[in-house]
Amino acid sequence: MADWFSNGEAVGHVDASDRGMQYGDGLFETIAIRNGEPRLWDYHMDRLAKGCELLNIRKPPDAELTAGVLDALHQSNTPTAYSVAKIIVTAGTGLRGYGRALAETPTVLFGAFPALPPPVESYRDGLQAALCQTRLAINSPAAGLKTLNRLEQVLARSEFVATGEFEGLTMDADDDIICGTMSNVFFVTNNSISTPSLARCGVDGVMRRHVIETLRAQGIDTQIQAINLVDLKNVDEVFISNSQFGVMPVQSCADMRWPVGNTTRNVMAILADNGVIECRQ
Amino acid sequence: MADWFSNGEAVGHVDASDRGMQYGDGLFETIAIRNGEPRLWDYHMDRLAKGCELLNIRKPPDAELTAGVLDALHQSNTPTAYSVAKIIVTAGTGLRGYGRALAETPTVLFGAFPALPPPVESYRDGLQAALCQTRLAINSPAAGLKTLNRLEQVLARSEFVATGEFEGLTMDADDDIICGTMSNVFFVTNNSISTPSLARCGVDGVMRRHVIETLRAQGIDTQIQAINLVDLKNVDEVFISNSQFGVMPVQSCADMRWPVGNTTRNVMAILADNGVIECRQ
């Protein structure tokens, strides 16, 4: 079992009254550590800041969070060449009851874990995805944010633990594809790239943002656009993004099949040139 | 700070890797203790069983949960005449990542806390409610269940912590009234009683069930029926239900006003005769 750290000390436990435990009243970030550096740190901090604003939690200063991640890597002897760090920020230990004022003294935990890059074949041939039955609730007040309320992802991902797909695609009740259980999804149609809006549900991944901004900076149009299940089989290519593995082609979802096409390969090449080493093939 | 108990021992902390803390992967029940007895115990066990089924958690046997509650009351020296017990059941401490198989060894925590009945005036004159801006997400896979994903209630209730209303009514994105932040809501129109469906969002309270079943057993028609915000001001009476306080009239919500009418008083009298001592006026 991995250790957790707080204020530079190993902490195996949290107060049972912590609002993170009681209500999922908190946020987290899972950060790729590559060659000693947190990747896309500013994007993680941006999303965490947005989450703290919605949840009315005083966000710990970036410097404190940077130091906490480095300390967790160091104290846990986690290799910094290729690993993953997790930051948890909760509203802290408070009185019983849902309501509260500003959480001035959040609980802040840091974890560091060894990691391995996914196999080269996944990037070359694409991954197999499940189509999850669990639907994402529509118009969640925390849509897009990485809160500790993650039951939808737990339920969706648990659907295919036994069958072993790498990822599963999730829909809302309207059959619109929203994202993967741990990734965001992109579609290629007639050489045009799109990804669903996360304004109503889902998690707005930092790698999704990096993909969109990097492609747009290169003059490659990338649309925020819903795609319905009935149209999914007709898209030309599908790929997913995630902070840890970057971008990976999807070769199938349920009975739908897609080739690993030139657009996806081009996106991966661009990402590889922009700090996402996993996409270098 | 209240103590928590597990397996007959005081436990102030939980493993930081507990899935309750990491993802809100668990459930809870808040049980009224009256004259030494848990009230509506079977309904609490029913709801917990439904939650365990959805979340694929092995439900601890009722006898173990009964013993745990009594042990927490005893060890914390909480008066059993009038108090509240909380049971938390999580998927336990597991590997990282959303997906999992059946949680065979759940974390089970028990808490016991002193309580006081609400003031007599609230039952006589009705309470003031806020109208919450936070909307409940529609088509939640855990709709009706008391999971540890409670951010919607945290956000909604925190809206009126400063203004001091006793409760707040929450809506979905369609402006349908669903429930209170810690209660269920009933409407009286032309002597007919209704309460919203909780199939898409909200929490299916044990006192709501007790109210519906008790009224129906008395031949009093009680409908499961949505009511929209635009119609709320036109209902004749409003009351709310909660496991701790029973049934209480609502005298106002935002700028809407209702009298404490005969139907609500009759419901309270019936409840008082059926074990809900707070409703005896």
- According to DSSP H, which parts of chain B are helical? 19-23, 41-55, 62-75, 120-125, 151-158, 206-217, 229-232, 262-272
Q: What's the rounded mean pLDDT across residues B98-104?
A: 95
Question: Across the interface, which of A19, A99, A156 has its CB nearest the CB of B157?
Answer: A99
| Packing angle, helices A41-55 and A62-75, rounded to 10 | 120
φ/ψ of B224, rounded to 5, equals -95, 110
Residue in B closest to A24 by C-alpha: B24
For residue A164, the chain B residue with the least C-alpha distance is: B99
Q: Could you report the per-residue pLDDT of B226-258, keeping only the tens digit for each?
A: 999 999 999 999 999 999 999 999 999 999 999
Q: Predicted confidence band at B2 (pLDDT cuts at 50, 70, 90)? A: low
Using DSSP's 3-state secondary structure scheme, residue B250 falls into strand
DSSP class per residue in B103-136: BSS-EEEEEEEE--PPPHHHHHH-EEEEEEEEEE
* Mean pLDDT of all residues in B156-165: 96
Q: What tokens appear for A217 in the block? A: 């900076």
Name the CA dihedral angle for A248, A79, B98, B7, rounded to a multiple of 10 degrees. 170
Work out the average pLDDT over A90-116.
93
Q: Is the pLDDT of residue A104 over 80?
A: yes
Contact B101 A158 (CB under 8 A): yes
Q: Residue A120 pLDDT more than 80?
A: yes
A155:B54 CB<8 A: yes
Mark residue A30 as left, alpha or beta (left: phi above 0; alpha: psi -120 to 50; beta: remaining).
beta
Query: What pTM value is reported for the model?
Result: 0.97
Residue A2 pLDDT > 70, yes or no?
no
Distance CA B200, CA B249 (A): 25
Q: In the 3-class helix/strand/coil scheme, how is A130-178 assigned residue by residue?
A: EEEEEEECECCCCCECCECCCHHHHHHHHCCCCCCCCEEEEEECCCEEE
Residue A261 pLDDT exceeds 80: yes
Q: Is the model's pLDDT at B1 over the cut of 80?
A: no
A81 Cβ under 8 Å from any chain B Cβ: no
Report d(CA A132, CA B238) in Å as an integer. 40
Confidence bin at A281 (pLDDT 50/70/90)? confident
Q: What is the pLDDT of residue B142?
A: 97
Alpha carbon of A90: minimum distance to chain B alpha carbons (Å): 9
CATH numbers and ranges of domains, chain B: 4-114 (3.30.470.10), 120-279 (3.20.10.10)
Residue pairs between chains A and B whose CB atoms are closer than 8 Å: 190
A-contacting residues in B 13-52 (Cβ below 8 Å): 13-25, 28
Which residue of chain B comes nearest to A145, CA vs CA? B151
The Cβ-side half-sphere exposure at B187, using a 13 Å CA radius, reads 27
**A140, A145, A175, A182: best to mutate for the B interface, most B CBs within 10 A:** A140
From the list A15, A93, A157, which residue is nearest B98 (CB)?
Answer: A157
pLDDT in tens, B179-201: 999 999 999 999 999 999 999 99
Minimum-distance CB partner of A98 among B88, B148, B153? B153
Sequence-separated (6 or more) residues with CB below 8 Å from residue B143: A137, B198, B199, B200, B201, B202
The per-residue pLDDT for range B106-121, each reduced to its tens digit, is: 999 999 999 988 999 9
Residue A116, chain B, CB below 8 Å: the answer is no
| Across B64-70, average pLDDT | 97
Number of residues that make up chain B: 281
In this structure, the number of other CB atoms found within 10 A of the CB of residue B22 comes to: 28
Q: Does the CB of A154 have a partner CB in chain B at under 8 Å?
A: yes
What would the mean pLDDT of A141-157 be, rounded to a whole number? 98
Per residue in B30-54, pLDDT (tens digit) is 999 999 999 999 999 999 999 999 9
pLDDT level of residue A124 (50, 70, 90 thresholds):
very high
Does the pLDDT at position B95 exceed 90? no
- B2/A150 CB distance under 8 A: no
CA angle B201/A171/A197 to nearest 5° reads: 95
* Per-residue DSSP letter, B279: G
Within 8 A by CB and 6+ apart from A279, the residues are: A123, A246, A247, A268, A269, A271, A272
- The SS3 assignment for A211 reads helix
Q: Over the stretch B132-142, which tens digit does the pLDDT of each residue have?
A: 999 999 999 99
Give the pLDDT confidence of A185-208 residue by residue, as tens digits: 999 999 999 999 999 999 999 999
**Residue of chain B whose alpha carbon sits nearest to that of A97:** B154
CB atoms within 10 A of CB A245: 23
**For residue A1, what pLDDT is reported?**
46
pLDDT band, residue B281 (cuts 50/70/90): confident
